[in-house]
Structure formats: structure tokens, C-alpha cells
């Protein structure tokens, strides 16, 4: 069973200009729309409104991101920090820790 698209879930965009990108859902507007950001092209000050049917829920969940957002303490770098390993793992790029020689 697929995870439902709730705040804190990482989603993959299937349609639109942002097709192929990962985002974190920060809150829901109604049964059809969510607001999400990636900390890069969609920063906290300018979140992306997207229909749920154009998203695929991923198995990663970050409730601490939503808690920080609700408290007004979330920074774009926090979102980028959690999405970096996910997006690069999908592309087959090694994280900085994996690519070190030692």
C-alpha cells in the first residue's frame, strides 16, 4: 500500500515544470491540494501548490520538518539537507561521505 500524502512526507512530482523533482509536503490546503517545498527552487517564502494526483508519495517521512515549519524555525537548508541524499540516491550520485577516499 502506498503511503498517503500527508505533511512531512517526501513526494515525487509526476507532472508539470517540476516533473522529476523531490519535495517535502509542509501542509495540506484541502482534499485535493498540498503546499510543498524543496529549499532550492521552491523556498519557504514561495511554496509550491500542487494537486495530490500529480504526486507520488515516497517512503520517507520527516515530521521534524513540519514541527519546525509550524514553529517558524524552518530554514531552506533544513529541507535541502533531508532531500539531498534522496534525490542523489535516485540519480546514482554518491554522497560526500561515500565518495571520500580513505
CATH number of the CATH domain containing 32: 2.30.30
Q: Give SS3 for 84.
A: helix
pLDDT tens series, the chain, 102 aa: 456 899 999 999 999 999 999 999 999 999 999 999 999 999 999 999 999 999 999 999 999 999 999 999 999 999 999 999 998 887 765 555 555 554
CA distance 1 to 44: 30
pLDDT the model gives residue 47: 95
What's the number of domains the chain is made of? 1
pLDDT the model gives residue 16: 93
pLDDT the model gives residue 102: 45
Residue 4 lies in a domain: no
Half-sphere exposure of 39 (CA within 13 A, CB side): 17
Residue 16 lies in a domain: yes
Amino acid at each position: 500500500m502506498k503511503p498517503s500524502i500527508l505533511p512531512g512526507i517526501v513526494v515525487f512530482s509526476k507532472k508539470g515544470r517540476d516533473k522529476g523533482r523531490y519535495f517535502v509536503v509542509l501542509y495540506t490546503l484541502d482534499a485535493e491540494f498540498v503546499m510543498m517545498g524543496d529549499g532550492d527552487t521552491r523556498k519557504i517564502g514561495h511554496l509550491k501548490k500542487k494537486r495530490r494526483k500529480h504526486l507520488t508519495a515516497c517512503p520517507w517521512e520527516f515530521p521534524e520538518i513540519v514541527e519546525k515549519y509550524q514553529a517558524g524555525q524552518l530554514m531552506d537548508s533544513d529541507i535541502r539537507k533531508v532531500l539531498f541524499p534522496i534525490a542523489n540516491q535516485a540519480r546514482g550520485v554518491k554522497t560526500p561521505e561515500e565518495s571520500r577516499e580513505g
